[in-house]
Chains A and B, each alone.
Chain A
Amino acid sequence: MSTAALTKNPAKRQRYVAVLLDMMNRPSGAIGLSLVLFHLCLAIISPVIVPYDFKLQDASLMLSQPSNAHWLGADHLGRDIFSRTMLGGREALLVTGIATPLAVLWGGFVGILFGLTGGRLDEILMRIVDAFLSLPWILKMLVLIVTFGTGLEVLIPTLAFFYGIPVIRIARAATHDVIARDFVWAAKARGHSRISIIWRELLPNVLDTLMVEGAMRWSWMLLAFSSLSFLGFGVSPPTPDWGLMISDARGYMSFAPWGVIGPVVALSSLIIGINLTADALAKALGIDRAQKAPM
C-alpha cells in the first residue's frame, strides 16, 4: 500500500489522523512517539552536530572518565564515547528501517495469498513456516552472515526474509478472520473480481494488524541487529554501533564502567520507544497486542 493510496481518500486520512491523535493522548504513545522521533532526528543530524570525529583516537584519553570535554568519557582506543553514541544508531536504523517494511510486505503478501487459497497448498506452506520458525533466529542469521559477509546488501535482505516469515502467519490468520465476515461474502455475491475484493474489502481490514505487526517486528529486528553487532557479526569497526560499543566496553567494565552507560541508554530508549509506540498503536486500532508471543 502506498501512502498516496491512503491519503487520496479523505475518509481514510481522517481515520489515520484520529488514530495518531488517540496514540498521542495515551502516555505510552506520547512517550514512545517522542523517543522514536528523537532517535530518527538524531540519526539524521548527528553527523553534523557531533563534537568529535568518531574515528579520532587519542591515546592520552584511553578509558578516561567523563569530563567537561568528553561528557561520557573515552573508550579503550581513546575515542569520544558521546560522539560515538550519537552516531551509533544510524546503521541500525537504516538497516531495520528498510528491512521492516520489506518483511511486512512480503510476509503480508504471502500470508494473505495463502490465507485466501487455503487447501493443501496452504497446509504445506504452514508446515514450512513452522519449520523455519523452529530454527533459532540467531542461527539462521549467522550462517548467512558468515557466508556472505556483513554488508548492508546482506543484512537487509536477510533480516527482511527471516522476519517476514512470522508475518505470514499473522497475515494469514487476519485474512481468515476477515474473509469469514459478511461484507466479503456480499462482495463475492455481487460478483466483484478477486483482486477487487482483496484490495477493497480485505486489505483495509488486514492493514491494521500488519501495521502493529510491523512496529513489533521493527523492535525485534533492532534487538537482533544489535545482538549480532554485540557478538561481532554485525557492523564492522570502526563504524560506531551501540551493540559493538557495549561489547567493547564490557571488557573494561571493572575499571571503566561508564563506557557502557551511553550506548545502553541509547539502545534501550529506542527499543522501548518503539515498543511503547506499538502498544499505543495497537490500543488505538483496537488490537490486543499482549496475546502475541515473541517470535
Chain B
Amino acid sequence: MSAATFINIQNLSVGYTSQSGEIIRVLRNVSLSINRGESIGLVGESGSGKSTLALAALGFFKRGLRALEGDVEFDGIDMLALERDDLQAIRGGRLALIPQNSGQSLTPTLRIGLQVAEALRLHSQLNESDFEARVVELLTQVRLPEPATLLSRFPHELSGGQQQRVAVAMALAGEPDALLLDEPTTGLDVTTQAHILELLRDLASERNMAMLYVSHDLGAISRVCDRVAVMYAGEIVLKGSTKQVLLSPRHPYAHGLLSSIPRLTQTSLPLALDGRPPMPSETITGCAFADRCALADERCRSTPPTLKQLESGEKVRCFHPDRIDQLPVVNKTVTQKGNVSADHGGDALGLNQLAISYAKPSLWNQLFSNASMPPATVDNINILIRTGETLGLVGESGSGKSTILKAIAGLISPKTGHLVLNGEGRLTPKVENRSALHLRQIQMIFQNPDDSLNPRHNIAQILAQPLRLYFSLTGEELRQRSIELLERVRLGSHYLDRRPSQLSGGEKQRVAVARAFAAEPAIVLCDEVTSALDVSVQAAVLDLLNELKAQRGTTYIFVSHDLAVVKAISNRVAVLYQGRLCEIGPVEAVYSKPFHPYTDVLLGAVLEPDPNFMPKLSADDVVELSPPKTGCPFQRRCPRKLGKICDTDVPPGRIFDNGHQINCHIPETDL
C-alpha cells in the first residue's frame, strides 16, 4: 500500500439476508484503491455491484444491504466505523457524490440556489452573506448559462443536462478531494453527455481530485479515467490502465464486453456475449464467468480464480489470461448485412409529405384562449424504403423518430401526407381501418420489453396472440409454431410456461422479437429495441435481428439514438432533428463527408471505447422543446449557420451520389 493511497477498499463484501434467512452477497471480497488525483473507472453490466461499491466508499448502503466483512478507508479514516456526525462532515465535503439521474436526485420542492447553498453551509467556512456569490460562481464553473437566474428555479424547470450540471456544482461546493460518480451521464443525449464529460475531465485535472467513475459505458470511461476496474457478478475481474484494459483486455469477460460494443470505425455487427451473469443468490463454485467463457475448462468450473498480477501490470481474475487472443474479435458467425441495390425488390414503404402534430387544443383553449398552434412535431418527411433494407432513423430525444414509427404502425394519424405500402396504394392511416393483410405485414418491436409484454401473460399466451389473430392457429399447431418461433430467437420450448417477470431483459426482448416475427411480417419497426439492454445483450439482439432478416428478407425501420448501433445494423440512415429530415443516404455516405452540420455535431460527440479517440464538440448542448416556426430546424444550434436565410427558408435538398441527400443551405461543395 503506497502512501498516496487515498480511498482504500479492502476485501469488502456486501450483502443482505434473504427471506429464507440466507446471506446473499452482492459484492464479494472486493479490493480497490485510488490514489490522490487519480481517476478510476468502474465498469460492469447491470447487477454487477458497481454502484453498491461506489456508495460503500461513502460508508453508505442501500436499505437492506450491509457490509459483511472488509474495510473502507478514506484518507486513513475508517468509513465503516464512523459516527453519524463525522460521516456527515465527510459526505458531500471532502468526498462528494455525483448521482445518476439528477432529475430525481434534486429535491423537487427546493430551489436550485438553496440546494447548492445548503452544501456550502454544511461544508464551507463562508459567511451566509457570501453564499449567493459563491453559488453563482459554482454554477458558472459548471458552464451553466445565466447562472444568476437559475438560483430561484426549481429542478424540474431545467433540462436533464442542466440538472446534471447543478449536481456537479453541488458536489464542488464542498471543495472535495475525491468525487464519486455514479453513471453521471446515463440517459442524457450524446451531445450533452460529451459536454458533461469534458467538464468533468477539466475539473478533475484543474483541482487534482481523485475520481471513482462508475459506468456501463466504456466510451465515457475511456474519456475520463486513468485506470479501469471491470466488475462481474460482484467481483473485480480485471484491473489495469485504461489503455491496457480497453485496447488489450486480458480477461475473457472484458474482452467479450469490448467486442460487443458497436463502433463507428467498424461496419460489421459487434460480437455477442451469450448467456447471462449469475444471480447473487446462486452458488458459484468456480469462476463466475465460466458458463459464458469459450476458454473455460474443468479447473475454471471447480476452483475460483484469484486476482493475479501479470507482468504487464494488470491484475486479472482468470486462469488463462495468456489465451485471450484465441477468442474471436469480430463477428464472423453471421452473414454480413447485404447491400441492397435499388432494383433488389422494389419499394416496401413510402412516406410522402408526412406531417404529424400532437397538439390538440382543448375545448377550454378553443373557447377562451387564442394562442396559436405550435409547429407540427414531425413535418415534411419524404422517405422511400426499399424491400429488404434496414433504414436507420437517428436523432436525439425529441427528434420525432419514434413518432414516425407510431404513424407507420397506425397508432397516430398524420396531420397531412400519406403512406404507400409495397409501391401499390395508400396505407390507411388508422390501424383500426387497415386490412388484415396490411396489419400482418407491419409489425413493431418496442423499446422496453418490461412494458411491451403483458406481465399477466405467460410466453405461450404472448406468442399465441398474433398466431391466433393472423393464422387462426389453435391447439397443437399453435404450440408447435410457438416453439418454432422461440427456437428461432434462440430460446427453448421450456420458456412457454414462464412469465415475463421470470426472464432477463435480453430474453424478454427476444420474446418480443419472436412475437413480431410470428406474423411473418414484411416490415418490422424497431423502436430503440436495444437501448434498455446491456451492451453484451444488445449485440446478441442486433445479431438476431440481422440473422432473421437474412433468412426472411424482412425490411427494418430501426430507430435509435445510438449512432454506432445504427451504423452497425443499417443499410441506409436518415438523420432527424426536431421532426425534420436533415440527411439521408447509404450508411457509408452519411457517416463520412460531406456532412449535414447536425450529423457532424452528433458524430463528433460519440464516445468510442478507445483512449486514443477524441470527441469534437462543436455545438452547444441546448435542449429545444419545440421546432422553430420557419426555416431550418437546426438554426438555433448550428455551428455553421449562414445567416438570416437559415431562419426564414426551409433548406433545399442537396443531392449527392447513391441517393445521398443533405437538407442544408450550405452549398454542396462546402458541406
Contact = CB atoms under 8 A, between A and B. Distances in A.
Interface string B454-490: 1111100100011001000000000000000000000
Contacts of B363: 120
A145 interface: no
A190 B519 contact: yes
B448 A182 contact: yes
A85 to B, nearest CB: 40
B451 A182 contact: yes
Interface stretch (B229-237, B431-439, B582-590): B431-439
A191 B440 CA distance: 8
B431 A205 contact: no
A140 interface: no
B469 A183 contact: no
A237 interface: no
B461 A11 contact: yes
B465 A187 contact: yes
Interface string A212-233: 0000000000000000000000
Interface string A174-199: 00000001110111111110001000
B494 to A, nearest CB: 14
B18 to A, nearest CB: 14
B453 interface: yes
B446 A185 contact: yes
Interface of B: 363, 409-411, 431-432, 434, 436, 439-440, 442-444, 446-448, 451-458, 461, 465-466, 469, 497, 499, 515, 519
Contact of A11 (B452, B497, B515): B497
Contacts of A9: 461
B458 A11 contact: yes
B411 A192 contact: no
Interface string A1-25: 0000000010110010000000000
Contact of B465 (A15, A200, A204): A200
A186 B444 contact: yes
Interface string A145-168: 000000000000000000000000
Nearest to B442: A189
A149 to B, nearest CB: 44
A11 B498 CA distance: 9
A249 to B, nearest CB: 47
Given A186-B452, A190-B519, 18 more contacts: A11-B461, A11-B499, A181-B451, A182-B447, A182-B452, A185-B452, A186-B444, A186-B515, A187-B465, A188-B411, A189-B409, A189-B411, A191-B439, A192-B469, A196-B469, A201-B454, A205-B455, A205-B456
A26 to B, nearest CB: 12
Contact of B410 (A181, A187, A189, A204): A189
B431 to A, nearest CB: 6
A189 B470 CA distance: 13
Contact of B446 (A12, A15, A186, A201): A186
Contacts of B453: 183
Contact of A188 (B431, B447, B451): B431
8 contacts: A11-B497, A182-B451, A185-B452, A191-B432, A191-B469, A196-B469, A200-B454, A204-B456
Nearest to A9: B461
A190 B525 CA distance: 12
Nearest to A194: B432
Task: Indicate the member of A9, A15, A183, A188 with the most B CB atoms within 10 Å.
Answer: A183
Nearest to A191: B439
A188 B443 CA distance: 11
A287 to B, nearest CB: 13
A204 B454 contact: yes
10 smallest CB-CB distances across A and B, nearest first, come from: A191-B439, A204-B456, A182-B452, A182-B451, A189-B409, A183-B454, A182-B446, A11-B458, A189-B444, A181-B451
A139 B366 CA distance: 39
A204 B451 CA distance: 15
A190 B456 contact: no
A201 to B, nearest CB: 6
B643 to A, nearest CB: 43
A294 B434 CA distance: 45
Contacts of B409: 189
A152 to B, nearest CB: 36
Task: Indicate the member of B409, B434, B436, B448 with the most A CB atoms within 10 Å.
Answer: B409
Task: Indicate the member of A9, A182, A201 with the most B CB atoms within 10 Å.
Answer: A182
Contacts of A12: 456
